[in-house]
Amino acid sequence: MSDPTPTTTVDKYAWSAIARALPSKRAAGERVGDFDEIYASYDEAAVRAQASRCIQCPHPLCMQGCPLSNRIPEWLALAAQGQFLEAAAISRSTSNMPEICSRVCPQEKLCEGACILNARTQPVAIGAVERFINDYAFAHHAVEITQAPPNGFRVAIVGSGPGGISCADELAQRGYDVTVFESLLIPGGLLVNGIPGFKLEKDIVARRIDLLAKRGVKFQLGVKVGWDVTCAHLRREFDAVFLGVGAQRAKPLDVPGSELTGVVDSIPFLIQKNVVSPLVDLPPVDVVGKRVAVLGGGDTAMDCLRTALRSGAREAVCLYRRDLANMPGSKKEYANAIEEGATFEFLTNPISLVGNAQGAVTEVRCVRMELGAADASGRRKPRPVPGSEFTVPTDVVLVAYGFDPVPFPPGSDLAMLATDEWGALKVDANQMTSEAGIFAGGDASRGASLVVHAVRDARKAAEGIDRYLHVAKSTQPAS
C-alpha cells in the first residue's frame, strides 16, 4: 500500500500521489480453510488516505452509479478528515444496510465503475471506505436504536431479505407498527441463505436484524404467506402489505441426465454448507475429495465454486457458455475464485449428463460455443460450434442458472396479482402492485438482481405506503 499520510483538508490532487489500495486479503491457502470474510479492514490512516483520493467533483458520477444515490463525496470528505462517525451518519441517511451493501455490491459496475477517476487512473475505493466507516460506527455504538412515536398504522412485511427488512426499517423509523412474516426459521433471506460467509459473515446480518427488533419491528418466523395465511387475513389486520418474497425458484437444467444423483441446485447446497444451525434440515451434499462442476456464470456460480473448495472438493470447475468479458458474475469475485483454485471453461455449454450403473453422475458432455451477434440486451448470443463436443469428468454438478419468482399457489388471493411473463410482480412508480394497498419490491418485482436494488425498491415502497396511507386517512369522512 502507498504511504497512507492522512490529510486534514481536501486535496484535489491526492489521487495522483496516493495509489488506490483495497484492504489486504487473507492468503488464498488460509481462507479456503474457513468461511470467514476474506478482507481485513483498513486502519485509520489508510482509510483517510483512500478517502482523500476523491476529487469532490461538482456533479458526482459515483452518486449516479449508486442505485441508492448515496451521498458518497460527502462521506468521503469526512472520512478523509477522520470524522468517521459523522461520515457513517450521512451514509446511513440514504441506506438501510450500508455495512452490508459495502460488502456485497459489485462496485465495479456501480459507484466505482462510474467514478470519474477511471478516465485517468483507478477509482476511489468507495465500497471499502463505506465498509470501514459503518463498521466503525457499530464498534463505537453510534448507530441509533431509538423508537419513533407510533403513528397508528400497521404494516405487514412479507419476507425478511434485504427488501423486506429495509422496508420494515424505513417504516419503523416513521412510527409504523411493523410485523415481518418470514417462511423460514432464520431471518435474512439470501443475505443468510445464499450469500456465503466469506463475502458477508452471518453475524453482520444478525446484528442488523437485531437492530430492527430494537427499533420495534416484530418478526413472525415460519409463516408462509399465501400458504399458511391468506393475504385477505393480512389486509384485515394491517393497513398495508409489502411483498419482499424474492425470486428463489431455480431455473431448471434442461438436459438429459439432470435427474442423476449428484446433480444439486445451488441454494440448497450453499445453505447446507454455509448456515450452521439446527434450524437447517437439508440432505448433506458430500464433496470431499470430489470433482465438482458448476454450471452458470453469475454470482451464485462463483459462490458455489468457492464453497465447494472450502468444503473439501478436489477440484471445482465452472462451465459457462459465454466468455469472461460477457460473464455476469462480479470480476472481483471471479479473481477471488481463481486465487482459491477454481478453474473456468468458457464458451462451454452442457448438452447432457452421463451416469454410472448406480445412477450417479460421472461426466458432463459439453459443446464449445462461439459468440454471434448481440441480442436485444446487448450481449453477444452464444451458438454451438458443430463437432466440438467434449467431456468433463465429474462427481457432483451444481446448477447455478439463475432464479425466477416463486408463484403463489393457484387460487390463493395473492395469485391474482398481475405478473410479467417471468412471474415477477408488476408494480407502479410507487412500487404498488395491481391491488391497492399491496406493495412489492426486490427480486419479487424485478427478477433476480442485487441487494442494493432490493434496498432501493424497499425505500421507494416505504415512501409509497406512507403517501398511500396518509392520503387514505385524509380522505376518510370525519366520524
Binding site for ligand FAD (CB under 6 A): 104-105, 158-164, 181-184, 189-190, 194-195, 199, 224-226, 244-246, 248, 270, 299-300, 303, 442-444, 449-452, 454
In the bound complex, what is the minimum distance in angstroms from residue 451's beta carbon to ligand SF4?
8
DSSP state letter for 169: H
Site residues for ligand SF4, 97-116, by CB under 6 A, read 101-102, 105, 107, 110-111
Stretch of residues binding ligand SF4 (CB under 6 A), selected from 94-102, 155-163, 230-238, 369-377: 94-102
Q: Which does 163 bind (CB under 5 to 8 A by kind): ligand FAD, ligand SF4, none?
A: ligand FAD
Write the binding mask 58 to 77 for ligand SF4: x where contact by CB under 6 A, - elsewhere: --------x-x-x-x-----
Is residue 313 close enough to count as binding ligand SF4 by CB under 6 A?
no
Residue closer to ligand SF4 (CB basis): 66 or 305: 66
**Residue 294 makes contact with ligand SF4 by CB under 6 A:** no
Task: Identify which of residues 136 and 346 has a Cβ nearer to ligand SF4 in the complex.
Answer: 136
454 in contact with ligand SF4 (CB under 6 A): no
Among ligand SF4, ligand FAD, none, what does residue 126 contact (CB within 5–8 Å per kind)? ligand SF4
**Residue 208: CB minimum distance to ligand FAD, A:** 13
Choice between 26 and 224, CB closer to ligand FAD = 224
C-alpha cell at position 450: 442485487
In this complex, which beta carbon is closest to ligand FAD, that of residue 350 or of residue 441?
A: 441
Which residues of the chain form contacts with ligand SF4 (CB under 6 A)? 66, 68, 70, 72, 95, 101-102, 105, 107, 110-111, 126-127, 130, 452
